[in-house]
Amino acid sequence: KAVVSTQSTGGVSIFDVSHMLQLLIHGADRISFMESLIVADVAGLAPNTGTLSLLTTDQGGIIDDCIVHNTTDGYLNLVCNAGCADKDLAHIMARLEAAKSSGMDVDVEIKPNHSLIAVQGPMMEKVLQSGVKDDLSVLFFNHTALLDVWGIPCRVTRCGYTGEDGVEISVPSDRTVELVEKLMAASDDVKLAGLGARDSLRLEAGLCLYGNDIDETTTPVEGTLMWTVAKRRRAARDFPGGEEVMRRFKAKEGRRRVGLIVEKAPARPHYPILNTAGDVVGEVTSGSPSPCTGKNIAMGYVDLEYTKNGTPLQVQVRKKIFPATKVAMPFVPTQYYVEKK
Amino acid sequence: SWDVSSGINAEYGYYTKSHEWVNVTGSTGRVGITDHAQAALGDIVYVDLPDVDAEFDVGEEVSSVESVKAVGDVALPVSGIVKAVNEELSDTPTLVNQSAEGDGWICEIELSDPSELEDLLDKAAYDEFLDTDTE
């Protein structure tokens, strides 16, 4: 119900994502430092805008996916997955030490005393506007701003993990309950939702779950995430593993992450993907019934020759084999509030 | 013959601690999962039906019931050979949610060893088990 309510029927869902890692990167050299870690064109980010990006290893493998924002408040804002927090911190801090030793003016801190609340769904702007003086209709997708929300000083970023219009609000931890109570009082359509619903929504939106759909054995090439590697960065190959990533990109070999619709039964992680002849050609990495399409959707990796839309495949579900079809993602059209230019 | 709409006949209904039931007439049994089990699983999206004529030992997995969030194995309460499966569940797996102990039955078996029924719980004992089970 939380999934359908967040989507078509116009509800708003609140997810507590405070377990995620929020980092602030300070210093005059923060942009080049950040570019030494992730694949984004950080220098090209307009003030108070951001993007989904990837931290990569020196072999081009994905350490984590993350959201970076270029704030006008003197720092870059970085949000990383909770499950990778320890790993990401160790990695970033090691690189920071090296950067400082080489004379870079940069520092990194965990954002102190702040929680993170996601507010997602078509009615988000209406609900949130009732607590904010600033005009939210100009806070476009992937834009960020420091706003007083019902008098609580927050960083509000128009992004999320559901494919819907929504925001993630970084709020002082001691006022998180107050914020959520205000949100829920603003409308009957505002409801708390759990991480199960969040997983269904992100899969419908074609968004990766780190650990399932991408990991250190996948580069942006296999992960079908080359769009995160900005044009300038591709040419310069100046991100960790840049040479190897561009080699693979040009080589056109290996497996690719794809979307599938599976007949009859839901596909789940590690179920084999077969071609119509019955040979194993890949593996499912995420799967679930999709409340909004009424179908069983999945993500997985298949050999390059099976990546055309409409390619017939099969998935082994425990002891049985069911037909599947490779389809484009997202499975449900996304509703990001993108600025029309 | 079965009176499906009235659910399990308490006189002949047997239960397991893993929340399966078998409703027996003579040497034939109808098998399903209990209402408690369907509630714990949530909305059911797929039921793996066994093949007719397949033979299973007591406790062997005869079916699995999959919800959005979990897959529950269905262990056969007594040994037997599958004689019929509930084809309705192919199109309408949610029948198990609506009527786990009635229209949502999973399969019918020919019992190989009716004495195994002695190891099962009757309804009263199963209900008591539910009350005391801390799971």
Q: Which residue has 């914020």 as its token pair?
A: A179
Closest chain A C-alpha to B56 CA, distance in angstroms: 15
pLDDT band at B7 (very low <50, low <70, confident <90, very high): low
pLDDT band at B3 (very low <50, low <70, confident <90, very high): very low
> B45 — contact with chain A (CB < 8 Å)?
yes
Q: Record the pTM.
A: 0.90
Give chain B positions within 8 Å (CB) of A264: 46, 90
The complex's ipTM? 0.78
Q: So what's the pLDDT on residue B134?
A: 59
Q: Do A289 and B45 touch (CB under 8 A)?
A: yes
Q: So what's the pLDDT on residue A197?
A: 85
User: How many C-beta atoms lie closer than 10 Å to residue B106's C-beta?
Assistant: 27
Q: Best of A4, A198, A262, A264 to disrupt the B interface by mutation (most B CBs within 10 Å)?
A: A264
Q: Which residues in chain A come in under a pLDDT of 70? A: 1-10
Q: Best of A296, A318, A320, A321 to disrupt the B interface by mutation (most B CBs within 10 Å)?
A: A318
Q: So what's the pLDDT on residue A11?
A: 86
> B103 — contact with chain A (CB < 8 Å)?
no
Q: So what's the pLDDT on residue A9?
A: 53
Of A196, A200, A266, the CB nearest to B66: A266
Q: So what's the pLDDT on residue B91?
A: 92
In this predicted model, what pLDDT tens digit does every residue of B114-128 receive, in sequence order?
999 999 999 999 999
> B70 — contact with chain A (CB < 8 Å)?
no
Q: So what's the pLDDT on residue B133?
A: 73
**What is the percentage of chain B residues whose pLDDT exceeds 90?**
82
> B66 — contact with chain A (CB < 8 Å)?
yes
Nearest CA in chain B to A290: B68
Q: So what's the pLDDT on residue A7?
A: 58
Closest chain A C-alpha to B68 CA, distance in angstroms: 6
Q: Do A265 and B66 touch (CB under 8 A)?
A: yes
Q: So what's the pLDDT on residue A334?
A: 95
3-class SS string, chain A? CHHHHHCCCCCEEEEECCCCEEEEEECCCHHHHHHCCECCCCCCCCCCEEEEEEEECCCCCEEEEEEEEECCCCEEEEEECHHHHHHHHHHHHHHHHHHHHCCCCCEEEECCCEEEEEEECCCHHHHHHCCCCCCHHHCCCCEEEEEEECCEEEEEECCCCCCCCEEEEEEEHHHHHHHHHHHHHHCCCEEECCHHHHHHHHHHCCCCCECCCECCCCCCCCCCCHHHCCHHHHHHCCCCCHHHHHHHHHHCCCEEEEEEEECCCCCCCCCEEECCCCCEEEEEEEEEECCCCCCEEEEEEEEHHHCCCCCEEEEEECCEEEEEEEECCCCCCCCCCCCCC
In this predicted model, what pLDDT tens digit does every residue of B36-67 receive, in sequence order?
999 999 999 999 999 999 999 999 999 999 99
Q: So what's the pLDDT on residue A198?
A: 87
Q: So what's the pLDDT on residue B100?
A: 96
